[in-house]
């Protein structure tokens, strides 16, 4: 497989789980094991544009248990003989190799994945900021020689960019340091929030300056949070900001 592969460094490794759960997009070449009319292939691809059941393949790195994954879209691109080129947008953790196998089963001829390219991983897309390892090696050596941090920014992006698609809650400055010590976020600390938040879902807690503070589990929906005057809004699961960046505004023993 080729294409987009986000790599986290140092403290940004804390957000890996958010990236793993984010949506992906692939361009795939599927090899059919028999001759099938193009209109039949298109029709079957459309049938998979839904929530599907998948069991990870034998060579998978996760437990082989049945699970559901969402296929947001499958766009047929072209067909040459038994080679089918299509683009698929899917939920994180979807196995395209298994998807090709299942499509082949429905077609009745069998099929396997021949080539695969990831064109999007969460907020990172192929057209924006994609660099090769050769680029990274060259710029890193340039940085070591010149010490110019601007060179690093050619291939290193902020941790906040990786959280672009995670629903966010923006908090008061007075709440930040308590969150950095692992405290739960309560309603008085919330200033604003984005839609798409549900109880139990992952949210990113941000400062008003756009700095990532923590990843948390929402305890209520966005609509419910807006109506809350007290109580826990989100429980911190992963602190992202170092302690002491914002002044301490809580008393010892409060958290």
The DSSP string of 121-141 is: ETTEETTSS---HHHHHHHHH
Contacts of 22 (CB under 8 A, 6+ apart): 92, 121, 122, 123, 165, 166
Structure tokens belonging to residue 249:
């505004």
The pLDDT, as a whole number, for residue 251 is 66
Evaluate the CA torsion angle 78, 119, 67, 22 in order and state its sign: negative
Q: Which residues contact 244 (CB under 8 A, 6 or more apart)?
A: 177, 180
Question: Residue 255: what pLDDT?
Answer: 46
Place of tokens 């906040």: 160
Q: What is the pLDDT of residue 86?
A: 98
pLDDT at 254: 47
**216, 202 Cβ separation under 8 angstroms:** yes
CA distance 185 to 169: 10
CA distance 2 to 118: 6
**CA-CA distance, 118 to 69, in Å (whole number)?**
17
Segments making up each domain of the chain, as ranges: 2-125, 131-164, 166-239
Residues 7/162, Cβ–Cβ less than 8 Å = no
- The DSSP code sequence of 8-75 is --GGGGGGHHHHHHS-EEEEEEEEESS---HHHHHHHHHHTSSEEEE---TT-SS----EEEEEEEEE
Look at residue 240 and give its three-state secondary structure: coil
Q: Could you count the other beta carbons within 10 Å of the beta carbon of residue 223?
A: 10
Residue range 2-125 forms a domain whose CATH class is alpha beta
SS3 state of residue 219: coil
- Tell me which CATH code domain 166-239 carries: 2.30.130.10
Q: What is the pLDDT of residue 194?
A: 94
* pTM (two decimals): 0.84
- State the pLDDT at residue 1: 79
Query: What pLDDT score does 112 carry?
Result: 96
Residues of the chain under the 50 pLDDT cut: 253-255
Q: What is the pLDDT of residues 80-132, one digit of tens each?
A: 999 999 999 999 989 999 999 999 999 999 999 999 999 999 999 988 878 88
Residue ranges of E strands in 81-167: 83-90, 111-121, 124-125
């Amino acid at each position: 497989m080729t294409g987009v592969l986000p790599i986290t460094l140092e403290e940004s490794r804390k957000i890996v789980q958010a990236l793993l759960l984010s949506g992906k997009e692939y361009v795939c070449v599927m090899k059919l094991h028999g001759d099938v009319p193009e209109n039949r292939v298109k029709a079957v691809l459309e049938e998979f544009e839904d929530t599907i059941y998948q069991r990870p393949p034998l060579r998978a790195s996760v437990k082989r248990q049945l699970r559901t994954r969402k296929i947001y879209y499958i766009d047929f691109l072209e067909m040459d003989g038994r080679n089918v080129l299509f683009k698929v947008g899917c939920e994180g953790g979807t196995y395209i190799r298994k998807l090709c196998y299942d499509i082949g089963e429905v077609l009745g001829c069998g099929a396997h994945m021949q080539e695969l390219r990831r064109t999007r991983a969460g907020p990172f897309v192929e057209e924006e900021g994609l660099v090769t390892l050769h680029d990274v090696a060259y710029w890193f050596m340039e940085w070591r020689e010149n010490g110019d941090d601007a060179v690093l920014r050619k291939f290193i992006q902020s941790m906040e960019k990786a959280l672009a698609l995670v629903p966010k809650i923006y908090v008061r400055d007075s709440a930040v340091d308590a969150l950095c010590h692992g405290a739960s976020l309560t309603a008085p600390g919330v200033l604003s929030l984005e839609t798409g938040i549900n109880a139990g879902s992952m949210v990113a807690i941000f400062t008003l300056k756009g700095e990532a503070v923590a990843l948390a589990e929402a305890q209520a929906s966005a609509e419910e949070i807006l109506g809350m005057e007290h109580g826990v809004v989100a429980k911190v699961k992963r602190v992202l900001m170092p302690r002491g960046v914002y002044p301490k505004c809580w008393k010892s023993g409060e958290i």
